[in-house]
Structure 1
Amino acid sequence: MSRRLSAPRLIALGFAVFMSLGTLLLKLPASTQEGISWVDALFISVSAASVTGLSSVDYAATFTTFGSTVVMVLMQVGGLGIMVLTTLGALLVGQRVGFRSLLTVREELGSVDSPRNVFRLLGQIAAITLLVEALGAAFLVISFLRHGLGYAESLFQAVFHAIAAFCNSGFTALPDGDLTAYAGDPIVNLVFVALIILGGLGFPVLVNIYFYRKMRRLTLHSKLVLVTSAILIAVGVLSVALLEWTNPATLGGEPVGTRLWMSLFQGVTPRTAGFATVDYEQMNESTLFVQIGLMFTGAAPASTGGGIRVTTVALLVLVVLALARGQEEVSAFERRIPRPLVQKALAVLSISALVVIAATLALMVSDGLTLVPAIFEVTSAFGTVGLSLNVTQELSTFAKLVILGVMFFGRVGPITLILALSARKPKGYVYPQEDIAVG
């Protein structure tokens, strides 16, 4: 069967099967306190495997330690990628990995110059992931102990949240159900921010940075991701600080130091993660508008985040700059960017915008939501972020299925899903060219 399936179809099918397995595990009596519906089990499974973090139930009051462990595994596997872990597992047990499997992993990772280099990259990804998550968990244990949690609980919560933060999933298993109690905690803020940023950069970039001393160069992909991410983080932090500084329901009632930590945290988290130290329902609409833009943009390709990806935004900006300068070729850092990549960026933007608009309209019609809560919820699902204006648990079954589909679409990726559903046949002819009026 795998011989007839293209790489995009294998990736989409792999995620679908894994999410179905997660649903079955979450329906087990051992996973919840009093049981949940099939729709909610599927919703949480898709949310965890797509590393989103939206929850259709009260997470802290619903799931047992076993259930949270299932969610933790779903986040870890979903964050790293189905084919990445499948191939890595085969290598660890000594099985032979075929060339087609390598091509599929290459498709999932992106930015790998040769399928054979996938072997080396898989080992590097595993090492970096374990190292980063272990360091994050070690620091979080200290903070959780200081806040009164027991040793066993602190260790579990530290591991859970280290994985959730690095995989950019907004789930929290803390008894209070959120991170508001840690809004002014320097350790929690710095660890979460660091893990979220690292997870959102993408594995090719992390490997490039890790081996920079040996390679002595950053790839064009890495440069675009790093520069664009830095700009978006600055925009996020400054927008929260400037627009919410005097809002008594969010930052306004806190000490200056806590306001700065909250601005940093909420400036980083909307692009990918979905953790919150403030009540988003109390935010100004101007702030929410910026946050929606950041969620739609998302993280880098081959990362643990979703959205249209920072490289897509970078390419579109470069296209505009090239047009403004009268240049026919799009370039960056003294490198020319192939035209098919520009076309792909435009396709990703167009498809994603249509999906978000259609899903937003569906929520407004089915559940009577106003525009801001509806588009915020949909964009959060598409960007696999996990932030909400406290409407997720109130959604109808139809609306939950809509959000569920958007989360799957956002994690698998617009282009991957479209290619998975289409049969590509090369044409042996070219049509005549003719101009049209634009703008």
Structure 2
Amino acid sequence: MPAERRIVVVTRQWPRFRHPAQVVVAGFATAIAIGTGLLMLPVARSGPGGAGALEALFTSTSAVCVTGLIVVDTPVYWSGFGQAVILGLIQVGGFGIMTFASLLVLLVSHRMGLKTRMTAAAETKTLGLGDVRTVVTGVVKVSLLLEAITALVLVLRFATAYDESWPRAVWLGVFHAVSAFNNAGFALRSDSLMGFVTDPWICLPIALAVIAGGLGFPVLFELRRRLRRPRGWSLHTKIVVWATGVFLLGGTVFITAVEWSNPATLGPLNTPGKLLAGFFQSVMPRTVGFNSVDISQMNPASWLGMDVLMFIGGASAGTAGGIKVTTFAVLAFVIYAEIRGEGAVNIFNRRLHGDLQRQALTVVLLSVAAVATSTMAFMVVTEYSLDQSLFEVISAFATVGLSTGITADLPSGLQLLLITLMFIGRLGPITIASALALRSRDRLYDLPEERPVIG
């Protein structure tokens, strides 16, 4: 009898994502790859041929990560199709990849599965799975509403004050409104917004849209419900609103004072123009790349002050970057409590959990490590000063997009480094670390306790 033959079918097991953070990271990477492919098409470039791979990758990453750093002149290098692709990438990146995917699922099937809710919750920082659907639809509604209001004001101003045709005014208004609310900073003028430095009807709507986007969606939702009842605000909203006000006021005073007599920035402007420009440039380090004065001509002290504002950034669960104002506030109160010798950390009559303190410390230390190592790489490879190198690195990591004018002249290796920083900055160091972890581990035992000497 012939031996029995067995047919073994080998099936390939595709890797499964063990953590929602891995899905978020993969989603952003996929969006960047698609955007890169679209921008490499010949139709996306205004000149002959298609864009180079590095130019397309850098621009796609900057748009999806709502940064605004550029290596080519957006209104000159890209065609109308290319600019439309950039606008789409900004909008999708501002929504959040998984938020956008969840919206598509809702539109098609009118329901969300558990996995979809988990990934959307990880991206939007939603505390519970039950309200993910409400959060996703709310994000879309708030985004489109505020973008529409900003666009309307800008369209009317472009058409009536700058003799733009109505189709051109609509395109300029919509593009800059979406770029502003999503904290992207892409502009359709080679000088960004320097031509409107004293025009409040251009600068103020854009600045207000930037502030709204930087507050984060949870804060916007709560302010809509309880705007006149600040005592009922959550701890997160109180921290974000107070910290935002302090940094905006402090940044305005500092930048205006330092640049007041600078002939290359605020010097030639009258007093109202100086105040408007100072306020505008205080808002922009909140992770937006618009500028109404020449950044490269600013005082190094202003650069350093803007470095601080960029590194701190805006609020969580929004379009802003940086370590976030809540992280900064938590560590500030931890230091305050330690100086006073208090055993617990209290903010606005609320006690902070120890996990939040460790998480804040982790975010800051990982962020400092990324900025420090990248700045050292700049100093080794290029001859740019520490001021310029640090400014460029923090701008990329905090997804700001402001530049001293050196981005396009950097070697390809450093441009790839900036791409990496933008990606890490948009998703957050903890999200990246969680995505890279093979699995989560629960320690089943505690080790003996011992105290090293601190300080």
Secondary structure (helix, strand or coil) at the match of 1:53 reads: coil
C-alpha contact 2:323 2:398 (8 A) present in aligned 1:
yes
Q: C-alpha separation between the residues in 1 aligned to 2:425 and 2:127? A: 25
Question: What residue number does 2:412 align with?
Answer: 397
Shift of 1:124: 1.5
Secondary structure (helix, strand or coil) at the match of 2:341 reads: coil
Question: What residue number does 2:394 align with?
Answer: 379
Secondary structure (helix, strand or coil) at the match of 2:208 reads: helix
Question: What residue number does 2:10 align with?
Answer: none
Q: Please, which of 37, 41, 46 is the counterpart of residue 24 of structure 1?
A: 37
Question: What residue number does 2:357 align with?
Answer: 342
Does residue 417 of structure 1 match 2:432? yes
Q: C-alpha separation between the residues in 2 aligned to 1:4 and 1:242? A: 51
Amino acid at match of 2:223: I
Pairing 1:135-150 to 2, within 5 Å after superposition? 135-145=149-159, 146-150=161-165
C-alpha contact 2:17 2:23 (8 A) present in aligned 1:
no
Q: C-alpha separation between the residues in 2 aligned to 1:90 and 1:365? A: 48
C-alpha contact 2:41 2:51 (8 A) present in aligned 1:
no
C-alpha contact 2:181 2:213 (8 A) present in aligned 1:
yes
Question: What residue number does 2:122 align with?
Answer: 107
Structure 1 unaligned segments of length 5 or more: list them: none
Q: C-alpha separation between the residues in 1 aligned to 2:388 and 2:178? A: 28
Question: What residue number does 2:141 align with?
Answer: 127
Secondary structure (helix, strand or coil) at the match of 2:109 reads: coil
Shift of 1:189: 1.4
Question: What residue number does 1:369 align with?
Answer: 384
Amino acid at match of 1:23: T
Alignment deviations for residues 57-95 of structure 1 (CA, whole Å, 9 cap, x no partner): 122210111111100011111111011111111101225
Question: What residue number does 1:427 align with?
Answer: 443
Secondary structure (helix, strand or coil) at the match of 1:270 reads: helix
Q: Please, which of 176, 183, 190 is the counterpart of residue 204 of structure 2?
A: 190
Deviates more, 1:254-263 or 1:19-28: 254-263
Amino acid at match of 2:136: L
Shift of 1:102: 1.0
Secondary structure (helix, strand or coil) at the match of 2:92 reads: helix
Q: C-alpha separation between the residues in 2 aligned to 1:420 and 1:113? A: 19
Alignment deviations for residues 22-42 of structure 1 (CA, whole Å, 9 cap, x no partner): 000000111111232101100
Does residue 357 of structure 1 match 2:357? no
Pairing 1:145-164 to 2, within 5 Å after superposition? 145=159, 146-164=161-179
Secondary structure (helix, strand or coil) at the match of 1:75 reads: helix
Secondary structure (helix, strand or coil) at the match of 1:329 reads: coil
Count of residues in correspondence between the two structures: 437
Shift of 1:100: 2.3
Shift of 1:218: 1.2
Change (3 A) 1:261 1:214: closer
Pairing 1:68-107 to 2, within 5 Å after superposition? 68-107=83-122
Shift of 1:214: 10
Q: Quick one: percent identity of the two aligned structures?
A: 37
Q: C-alpha separation between the residues in 2 aligned to 1:140 and 1:105? A: 32
Does residue 326 of structure 1 match 2:341? yes
* CA RMSD in angstroms, aligned pairs only: 1.4
Q: C-alpha separation between the residues in 1 aligned to 2:341 and 2:378? A: 43
Q: Please, which of 276, 281, 285 is the counterpart of residue 266 of structure 1?
A: 281
Secondary structure (helix, strand or coil) at the match of 1:173 reads: coil
Shift of 1:391: 0.3
TM-score, normalized by length of structure 2?
A: 0.94
Who wins on radius of gyration, i.e. which is larger? Answer: 2
Shift of 1:438: 0.8
Structure 2 unaligned segments of length 5 or more: list them: 1-13
- Runs of 4+ residues deviating >4 angstroms: 213-216
Amino acid at match of 1:204: P
